[in-house]
Amino acid sequence: MGTIGNPRDYLILTNNPLVQDRMDGRGLYTIRFEPERGFREILVEARDLVYAGHILYTHPLAGSVKPNETPYKSLIVSIEPHGFDAQHAELMSNAIAVFDKFKPISRELGEGVLRDFQLIDYTLLCGAIGFDAAAGLSK
């Protein structure tokens, strides 16, 4: 993955409302919030951007939550293309293949469980870029 560089070059792809709520409007990040997309669709969007030359700044399968267990995903790519990177493209393709290996879990998730999954995704994202997650939560 790319070296974490200038936050103004970050494009955060997310379907997580907590990321949108706590990080948008701070002037540092560009956020593409797409709540209607699922985990896999966020991976595919990031893959397409990486194939177009955008830098992948965060690992697509970070954390210990299996991709079929959580509905939320946040990834960071560069806003502008910087040139094709075969390793980033392979990483994204492999992440989608891993996602596809897991059988979907069809269950109704309660509001508390959804909030927990939002917090896990948000915290992983914040840790990757050095954003103070606790300060963001006290917004």
**Which amino acid is located at 135 in the chain?**
A
pLDDT grade for 10, boundaries at 50, 70 and 90: very high
Section 33-54 average pLDDT:
97
List, for residues 95-118, the tens digit of each pLDDT value.
999 999 998 777 888 999 999 999
C-alpha to C-alpha distance for 125 and 63, rounded to whole angstroms: 10
CA distances from 105 to 66, 112, 125, 132 (A): 11, 18, 24, 32
Section 42-62 average pLDDT:
96
C-alpha to C-alpha distance for 71 and 37, rounded to whole angstroms: 9
* In the chain, % of residues over pLDDT 70: 95
pLDDT grade for 5, boundaries at 50, 70 and 90: low
Q: Please report the pLDDT score of residue 20 as a whole number.
A: 95
Tokens of 116: 């927990």
